Structures are given as C-alpha cells and as structure tokens.
Amino acid sequence: MKYLFTNIIGSFVLDGKLKIVDSTLFKNVEEHKNKEKSEKQLKQKHKAEQLPNEKLHQALLLFKDKQYHQEFYKKNLQLTKQSIKESVNEDNLIVQAISNINELDKINNILTKRLREWYSLYLPELSEEIQSHEKYVELVATKTKEELMKEIGTKETMGADLDKPYVDEMILLAKQIINNYQLRKEHEKYLELIMKRYCPNLLELAGITIGAKLMELGKSLKHLAMLPASTIQLLGAEKALFRHIKTGSRSPKHGIIINHSIVQKAKRNEKGKAARMLADKLSICAKLDYFKGEFKAKEYKKELEENFR
Amino acid sequence: MKYLFTNIIGSFVLDGKLKIVDSTLFKNVEEHKNKEKSEKQLKQKHKAEQLPNEKLHQALLLFKDKQYHQEFYKKNLQLTKQSIKESVNEDNLIVQAISNINELDKINNILTKRLREWYSLYLPELSEEIQSHEKYVELVATKTKEELMKEIGTKETMGADLDKPYVDEMILLAKQIINNYQLRKEHEKYLELIMKRYCPNLLELAGITIGAKLMELGKSLKHLAMLPASTIQLLGAEKALFRHIKTGSRSPKHGIIINHSIVQKAKRNEKGKAARMLADKLSICAKLDYFKGEFKAKEYKKELEENFR
C-alpha cells in the first residue's frame, strides 16, 4: 500500500510505514499551484492513493526534520507575498482615491480661507462679494486689482496698496489651490473609470462621489453587498446613530445618501422615505455588481426620480 | 473774543456766544490731514484763538444739527477706510505667510501619508525603506517601479501589478505634493525679502521660520519689542506654561526657540541656559528692529555660538 501526500514543498509517495519512497519537489509557487499534474504522475507510477486523514498527523511529523525547515519557510513566505500581491483589487484603489478626495476638500477649504484672509489685506471687498470658494480663487489667480474692483463694482477699497512681489505671493497660493481643484477632478475621472468596470450599477445610481464613499464606509464591494439596506441608509451617520442608542435622541434617517439628488429634491416630510427607498435600490445595485448581475440601475434611478419630484 | 474749532468736516470760527461766523470746509480726508494750513489762515483773518476745553462741549452741540449729520458720516467713513488701508503693514504680511507655511506643513504631511498608503498597493517596500517624506515623494514622482526596486535593492515585491492609468493617478498626487513643497520654499524666500527690510536683526539671529513664528506669536514687531525676554523664551509653550500654573507640573524652559540650532546644539543640561540667553538677545533684536537701531545680530549670534558649542 502506497500513499500520496502533497504540501507546499512537493508531492511525496509514502510506503505502508510512512517512509518517503519517491517525491517531486516544487521549484516555485507556480508549480505548487499546478500540483495536480505532478500528483497524477506519481499516482500512476506508484499506484498510490491519497493519504487518509487519520495518518495525516504521522506524515506531517516527517517534515519536522531540519532539512525541510528552510524550504518550508522560504516557500511559505513566497506564497504569502503572492497572496498579498493578489489581494490588491479595485476596492483598495477606490478607497484610496475617495479618501484623498475627502482630504483635498478639507485642504482646499483651509487654503482658501487663508487666501481670503491674506488677499483681504489687498482687496477686502472681494471676499465680501464672492461667496463661492472656487470662484474666489479663480478670480484672484487671473485678474488684477483694478479688474476685480470693476467686476464687483467698487470704486474705493480699504485694502492697502502693496508692491507687486507681495501680491504675487498670494497669486502663487491661488494657483496652487486651483491645481488642487484640478487634482480632485482628475480623481473623480479616475474613480469613474474604475467603477464603470467594477460596479456599474452602484456608479449609475449613486454617482461617483457618493458611490465611492459608500464603498469606503462599507470597506469593500463584497461587504457592501452583504449589508442590509437599512445599514446602507445610515452609513456615514454612525455618530448620530450611537448618540441615539446611548441617549435616546432622535434616530438618524440618512447617512451620506442625504447628499444624493433624489433625497435632496424630495419634499421635507418625504426625505426619510426617499432615503429608505434609495438605500433599498443601492443595496440591490451592490449585490448586482458583486455577483456580476445585469445592469439595472438606470431603471431604478428613473423609478425613484418619478416617485420623488 | 473769537474762537477757532476744527473737526473732520472743517475749521470753524465761533464768536463769544459760540455762533459760527466763518468756516473752511474740508473737501476730502487729505485736507483734514493738512488742517494746520486752513487753521492758520482763519486765525490770522479773525485773530481767533483755540477754543478752550471748557467750552468744547457747548461747541460740539452745534454740530448735532441734521445738516451736518450726513457730512460727518461720510467723512468718518472715509477716514476709517483710510486708517484701515494704512494699518496694513509688514506684520500682517509676515503673519499671513508664516501661517500658510504652517498649514502647508500639515497638508504635506497628510498628503504624503496618503501617498504612502496608496503607492504601497503597488510597491510597499519603498515606504519601508525611505523614511524622509520629501525624498519619498520625489522618488514616486520621477521613477518607475523597476527603477525604484533597483534603487532599494529589492528583486521581488509584494505590490500588485497595476495598469498604467492606476499608477498615473498616484504620480499626479506626488507631483502636487512637490508643488506644495515648492510653494513652501517660495514663501520662505518671500519672508526673507520682507524681514530683511523690516526686521534684519531678528531675521539674522532667529532665522526665517523661527523669526516669523515669533512675529506670529507676538502678534507684531511692536508688541514683540515690548515683551520681556522671559516671555519670548516661552512663546509657543503656552500650553505647558498654563499646565504648570494649574497643576504644578514642571515649568517649560523653551517655546518654539527649542528648534533654534543654538539650543539644539547645546548640551542637554545647558539647553535651558541656552534658551534663556538666546531669548535675551532676541528680545534686544526685536527692540533694535522696532526702533530702527543698528545691525547687531551678527555679533550676538557669534557670541552665542561660541558659548554653546
């Protein structure tokens, strides 16, 4: 009676007393992956059969020997490294990009506030007049004081008359902020590129930013697909949820999906309902995407939009 | 007996009963600034003398009249606007620039950490190997995976094989961080430019960043010049100081001047002494600069460097 036993370093044929009588050693992790081939060869050559489970423990003792130790260590390390390498997927890429978008948003906010304060030494009336951060930065970067005063209709300014090098420094900052906005837009394009292939339903119904944020909050598409719709509805509202559980304050009705246009456009007393129905459909979209189902999101979107207009 | 009385709208000659008999109205704020001229003319014409203080209140009542109200309002507004305009000085410019440097430092830290996490999906070994944030960003922005693996001497990587568009997005981020570093350097040059003219002594002894941070913490050169040396020594250590006062913990020995090379290079048991002596000299430098004194900082610096080496 002969037995066949395979581990990461090779395939082995053992006799009735569990001594090794023949073996094929694997050169690398690839060969281990195609172990069926070498197993078949050895089986035919020796008419061996698979080692029964009750003898497994005894067979493993064979490999306690020092001569195998280094080999085991090396191969295992290789295998682990390969698993890590293969574990990187779209989830990771999406999470990194959306996290950086969040950070860029915060950063642009900080830098624009700084620019407003700084440039207001020169032309305070502009900051008063232009509320939008992005527009403000654009104007500072591209127009002179005179042009700006004309633009906002001021004839006199409380701002100081500063020499060119002093003003240039502010313009440099404005240009850098514009680059940040640009990078944010690039990130959105990039997310769209990945999501179109990886989770087209979620992308279609949730949009780029909300879709990616849901992925970030759900950790991965797989996990998101497993979540109940009621959890998806509250993703991003964890703080309010725990406050509700702890202090009995009102329970939150929506997490980040509050920013979705369908919830935004819904009437005030229907927002909760809109959030619930949107979350239902989003949950289905995540499942469709994870299990490579059909593209249904367009229908869902239309249906919801007709319901809450 | 005739009296002369001047306010922001004009110079007035009053008779003994404090009725207006003659006046010169100011057309604009400039004329009010050169009021001596019109006052002299009226004085000579009417042989009037300055209104004594005890009659001031009565004279002011004259101008409660509605006809003056709008004029007062307009002129006062102009005067205030002009004061604001003139109040902008080097202090403000320095404080804005150094505040932005602080923010850029924080931002670069956040973005580089994000880049490390993101790029580690692709080549995790690099982040392990390169400690310096600036070097890491530079490498990611300029070299390919193969070049980098050669650079750090790795033959195999646990990082995933990613398509070019996925990697390009990380490189975009790296380039943006490099721009931020660049802007920070520009800000330093700009600070040097202002400080060389405005506070050369402080610049020479404290250096650009510490000098500017002292200005920021002291609010202005004037205020900094008025502070005792012991306060300058602790600027930036307010938290530790108040903790000391409140809980009796050890009192701080140095604020931000801990980062100065003289304190850094001093022996451990002499750091407190070095900070005190440096603060003494910095205090003198601020005074010299504010009162437009000589340039002494080079001597002080040499002296201190010889004391603590």
Q: Are A32 and A75 in contact (CB under 8 A)?
A: yes
Mutation pick from A169, A175, A220 vs chain B, by most beta carbons of B within 10 Å, is A169
Chain B positions in Cβ-Cβ contact with residue A177 (cut-off 8 Å) = none
| Beta strand B49-50 pairing with B3-7 | parallel
Radius of gyration of chain B (CA): 31
- CA–CA distance, A154 with A166 (Å, rounded to integer): 22
**Model confidence at B33, in pLDDT bands (50, 70, 90)?**
confident
Q: Are B9 and B71 in contact (CB under 8 A)?
A: yes
E strands, chain A, are 3-7, 10-14, 20-25, 49-50
Q: What is the pLDDT of residue B110?
A: 95
Q: What is the pLDDT of residue A136?
A: 96
Q: Do A114 and B107 touch (CB under 8 A)?
A: no
Q: What is the pLDDT of residue B187?
A: 95
- CA–CA distance, B229 with B163 (Å, rounded to integer): 60
Distance of residue B87 Cα from the nearest chain A Cα, in angstroms: 8
Q: Do B110 and A118 touch (CB under 8 A)?
A: no
Q: What is the pLDDT of residue A22?
A: 86
Instruction: Find the CB nearest A88 among B92, B96, B160.
Output: B160
- Taking residue A42's Cβ as centre, other Cβ atoms within 10 Å add up to 22
- CA–CA distance, A276 with A257 (Å, rounded to integer): 10
CA distances (Å), origin A86, targets A150, A161, B122, B123: 59, 60, 11, 13
Q: Please count the residues of chain B.
A: 309
Q: What is the pLDDT of residue B42?
A: 85
Chain A positions in Cβ-Cβ contact with residue B169 (cut-off 8 Å) = 97, 186-187, 190
Phi, psi of A305 (to 5 degrees): -65, -35
DSSP state at residue A123: -
CA distances (Å), origin B178, targets A170, A178, B306: 18, 15, 38
**Model confidence at A301, in pLDDT bands (50, 70, 90)?**
very high
List of residues 6+ apart from B249 with CB closer than 8 A: B240, B243
- CA–CA distance, B286 with B297 (Å, rounded to integer): 10
- CA–CA distance, A51 with A16 (Å, rounded to integer): 10
The residue among B135, B144, B203 whose CA lies nearest residue B170 is B144
The pLDDT tens digits for B172-181 are 999 999 999 9
Q: Any idea which residue has 């002594």 for tokens?
A: B201
The average pLDDT across A91-112 equals 94
Q: What is the pLDDT of residue B213?
A: 94
Average pLDDT over all residues of chain B: 90
Average pLDDT over all residues of chain A: 90
Tell me which amino acid residue A33 is. K
List residues of chain B with CB under 8 Å from any CB of chain A: 81, 84-86, 88, 92-93, 96-97, 99-100, 103, 107, 110-111, 114, 117-118, 121, 124, 156-162, 165-166, 169, 172-173, 176, 179-180, 183, 186-187, 190, 193-194
Q: Do A156 and B81 touch (CB under 8 A)?
A: yes
Q: Which range has the worst mean pLDDT, A162-166, A219-223, B42-46, B282-286?
A: B42-46
Q: Do B111 and A107 touch (CB under 8 A)?
A: yes
Q: How far is CA A174 from the centre of its chain?
A: 30
3-state secondary structure of A11: strand
Chain B positions in Cβ-Cβ contact with residue A162 (cut-off 8 Å) = 88, 93
- Residue A79: closest CA among chain B residues belongs to which residue? B158
In this structure, what token pair is assigned to residue A279?
């979350």
Q: Do B93 and A158 touch (CB under 8 A)?
A: no
The average pLDDT across A228-240 equals 91
Q: What is the pLDDT of residue A191?
A: 95
Q: Do B93 and A117 touch (CB under 8 A)?
A: no
- CA–CA distance, B286 with B182 (Å, rounded to integer): 29
Enter the ipTM. 0.82
Q: Which long-range contacts (CB under 8 A, 24 or more apart) does B127-136 make?
A: B133/B108, B133/B109, B134/B181, B136/B112
Angle between helices A133-142 and A90-119 (to 10 degrees): 60
Q: Where are the alpha helices (DSSP H) in A248-270?
A: 261-265
List of residues 6+ apart from A227 with CB closer than 8 A: A218, A235, A283, A286
The pLDDT tens digits for A115-160 are 999 999 999 999 999 999 999 999 999 999 999 999 998 888 889 9
Q: Do B176 and A179 touch (CB under 8 A)?
A: yes
The pLDDT tens digits for B35-80 are 888 888 888 888 888 888 888 888 888 887 777 888 888 888 888 8
Partners of residue B5 on adjacent β-strands: B12
The average pLDDT across A218-228 equals 94
The residue among B306, B64, B97, B49 whose CA lies nearest residue B208 is B97
**Model confidence at A54, in pLDDT bands (50, 70, 90)?**
confident
Mutation pick from A74, A78, A85 vs chain B, by most beta carbons of B within 10 Å, is A85
pLDDT at A43 over 90: no
The average pLDDT across B119-148 equals 95
DSSP state at residue A293: -
Chain B positions in Cβ-Cβ contact with residue A118 (cut-off 8 Å) = 96-97, 100
- CA–CA distance, A264 with A269 (Å, rounded to integer): 12
Q: What is the pLDDT of residue B297?
A: 93
Q: What is the pLDDT of residue A64?
A: 79
pLDDT at A84 over 90: no
